[in-house]
A and B are shown apart, each in its own frame.
Chain A
Amino acid sequence: MIPELGHFALILALVLSMVQAVVPLVGAQRNSAALMAVGRPAAQGQFFFILFSYVCLTWAFIQSDFSVQLAASNSHSETPLMYKITGVWGNHEGSLLLWAMSLSLWTVAVTVFSRHLPDAFLARVLGVLGLVSAGFISFTLVTSNPFERLLPGVAEGRDLNPLLQDPGMIIHPPLLYMGYVGFSVAFAFAIAALLSGRLDAAWARWSRPWTTVAWVFLTAGIAVGSGWAYYELGWGGWWFWDPVENASFMPWLLGTALMHSLAVTEKRGAFRSWTVLLAIGAFSLSLLGTFLVRSGVITSVHAFATDPKRGLYILALLVIVIGASLLLYAARANKLMGGGSFSLVSRETSLLANNVLLTVASASVLLGTLYPLFLDALNLGKISVGPPYFEAVFVPLMTPVVVLMMFGPFLRWKDDDLLAEVRRVAPIFVASVAIGVGSAWAVDHLTWRTVLGLSLAAWVVLASLRLLARRLGERAGAAAGSRLRSITASWWGMWLAHLGIGIFIIGVTMVGSLDRHLDVRMKEGQRAELAGYTFVFRGAVDADGPNYDAARGNIELVRDGRVLGVLDPEKRVYRAQGMPMTEAALDIGVFRDVYVSLGEQLEDGSWIVSLYYKPFISWIWAGCVLMGLGGIFAAADRRYRRLAARDAAAAVGGRVGAAA
């Protein structure tokens, strides 16, 4: 009964999404306040029904109702409660419902924080979001109904994929989806602006906090996913350039470009058409990401053939979204011309250069991800594009991005004197290279990659400090406290996020250059040495969990004769599907992680043990945290609220004027 209620609620949500899509758009076109006012309640009602539907599905998982197909294939009566709840989205159908729910949540947020928007503009935004929502809910209902019954029901479920039974997987998908789907708000704002023909600074200002918040979610989602891969997959890698990862990285790159482009459009009125294209692009890549991950084309293009309906539906959705928005863009392109002028040497130019580079980087990931799929689909042979390609592309593309990223903020808007600025930052630049060479030499790894990475990191850190000093110096004479307070939250955001990139680069460079790895066969009492650490194997004992059997190793970590701790990696076999799993054990530190995982047990009772030494790896995620914090600071800037209040007064004035 409850699954049927959930199914019914989802149908109601679809109906409401269609109302939300059509009525406000018509209202905005006809300038009818009554029709436009429908958008808000329709969006909120839609959220209620999707939430209800989602709760019903979760209930079926919690109750182990294995007459629901989805629960039977992704849950088990012995699965811990937490993983019953997260099992809801650990599959195609449930994750689509999560997608629709995130979209609906974003839409409700728009209705709540939109008092300052003109009615017609809000109506168009809600209309566009309604269209996207209708597309996704109908996709879910028609091709991937999560409430499908399995009659007669089975006694026991097949359990959630053990890889997903992990705390990291509890928060990774919701964060990632909030990020993906958040770009639909930036997209809806861009389309609404195109529809109204008003692409001015106000539009960019309204859109900025939404884009930044979506970007923060996406950054966090990607970082958590990478952390999960690091400790869960059992061999210590943090990024694999796997198509599933690329699917989330592409919108991140374009979203980063969009955030910066929006800043220029708001402050200077320039790049208007470029900003619109980026908003369309970022959202299209989010849709493409959903398609890649959820259609099954990645595991095999032939998985596509087993259920072509799903893939085709989402592909059609993608074509409609991209096609319709580009058509609209072409029709309105003449209104996008002009804007603030700027000279060759200006902050605008440096931002534009980085925008182009980020877009090319995104396109290179797209090429590497899609090309093998195309060849395979056309039966032209099988190839794979691995990490070497992406590394060969990213190092040269990102080097100028990082250099410019720290140089740009020194430049003034509109026009600046290149020579004077270069002269000012040249000492920092030289010092950075010296630090890069020096520290690479100090860690005894004098390769060009290490030197480049450490120099770039030094450049980011030193230039950040210089930038802060300069900013504080602008109000020389004022008290230190008031000088600090005079810096806006969005400036701190920029500063923190850029600094985060520097920290990130340190992590990537150090772990890439200096990590150590040893696979060794160990018997009880045996020891192994790696990177100055001694590992003593104290045997393995049984350690069964609620839904798995496991052997737990006991390895002492010793350095300079002192026991630092005991590492207890596990080898598990999940009972429902007999699937083996490796649970690594980590000794986490600021400057290094020590990482141990169990391979297989050999006939004589000894184990294959993998030992890893990972210097500075936590700096990768520390950098991501700084980037995310930077985004939060930027989105929380008081300026947006102050200007929103002004716009709200204007909007109310407009309404009163119209009524009179």
Chain B
Amino acid sequence: MKARSKRLMLVGGGVALLVAAVALVLSAFQQNLVFFHTPTEIAEGKAPVGKTFRVGGMVEDGSIQREADGVTVRFAITDTAKVIPVTYKGTLPDLFKEGKGAVVQGKLEGGVFHATEVLAKHDENYMPPEAAHAVEQAQKAATTLSQ
């Protein structure tokens, strides 16, 4: 093989490898993005049904209830404007409390959000950014309405 065609093959092979890898990365990226919706958006029907997404807000006061098995929990997430009922089976994070911020990931089915993951604050000062964002959005909307 001539040096030139050898180099061409090497470069060509490298480029093909690179293109395949990039295609793989981008398609995996497309398929696995998890979007975020606020309770208000869900109430307006903007959230997908049967697809995984995240909801953030405050855990509504007095909403936490345990089922008889002790590990299934029902609570509600609110952005101060709308409320979304959530069910979750499993251990809750240490800093999960009523009146505090939380983010849940899961699917919406029949108006109830079935969470597979519950995230709360990392420490006393820090509120999950998505939760803060949801409340902020709702309050912004409220001020615009009252004006």
Contact = CB atoms under 8 A, between A and B. Distances in A.
Interface of A: 161, 163, 234-235, 299-302, 341, 343-344, 349, 352-353, 356-357, 360, 363-364, 367-368, 371, 376, 381-386, 388-389, 392-393, 396-397, 519-521, 577-582, 597, 599-600, 602, 606, 608, 610
Interface of B: 1, 3, 6, 9-10, 13-14, 17-18, 21-22, 24-25, 28-29, 31-36, 54, 66, 69-71, 89-92, 94-95, 105, 122-124, 126, 129-130, 132-133
Contacts of B92: 599-600
Contacts of A388: 32
Contacts of B33: 383-385, 389
Contacts of A385: 29, 32-34
A599 B10 CA distance: 57
B70 A606 contact: yes
B66 A360 contact: no
A578 to B, nearest CB: 7
Given A364-B28, A602-B66, 14 more contacts: A344-B1, A360-B21, A363-B25, A381-B36, A382-B54, A383-B36, A384-B34, A384-B54, A385-B33, A392-B31, A396-B24, A579-B124, A600-B92, A610-B91
B14 A577 contact: no
A602 B71 CA distance: 10
Nearest to B34: A384
Contacts of B9: 344
Contacts of B14: 352-353, 356
The 5 closest A-B CB pairs, nearest first, are A521-B70, A389-B32, A392-B28, A300-B129, A382-B36
A392 B94 contact: no
17 contacts: A341-B3, A353-B14, A360-B25, A363-B25, A364-B25, A364-B28, A381-B35, A384-B34, A384-B105, A385-B33, A389-B29, A397-B24, A520-B70, A577-B123, A599-B91, A600-B92, A606-B70
Contacts of A383: 33-36
Interface centre among A382, A577, A578, A610 (most CB of B within 10 A): A382
Contacts of A579: 94-95, 123-124
A161 B123 contact: yes
Contacts of A580: 94-95
Contacts of A382: 35-36, 54, 129-130, 133
Contacts of B126: 299
B117 to A, nearest CB: 9
B70 A608 contact: yes
Nearest to B24: A396
Contacts of A356: 14, 17-18, 21
A519 B91 contact: yes
B123 A519 contact: no
Contacts of B124: 577-579
Contact of A393 (B18, B24, B35, B69): B24
B37 to A, nearest CB: 9
Contacts of B25: 360, 363-364, 367, 393
Nearest to A609: B91
A351 B116 CA distance: 41
Contact of B17 (A300, A357, A367, A384): A357
A623 to B, nearest CB: 24
A232 to B, nearest CB: 12
A368 B31 CA distance: 12
Contact of A608 (B22, B29, B71, B95): B71
B129 A302 contact: yes
Contacts of A349: 10
A382 B41 CA distance: 13
A341 B129 CA distance: 53
Nearest to A600: B92
Give the one of B35, B66, B89, B94 with max A CB within 10 A: B94
A293 B111 CA distance: 38
B123 A357 contact: no
A565 to B, nearest CB: 22
A386 B105 CA distance: 11
Nearest to A517: B90
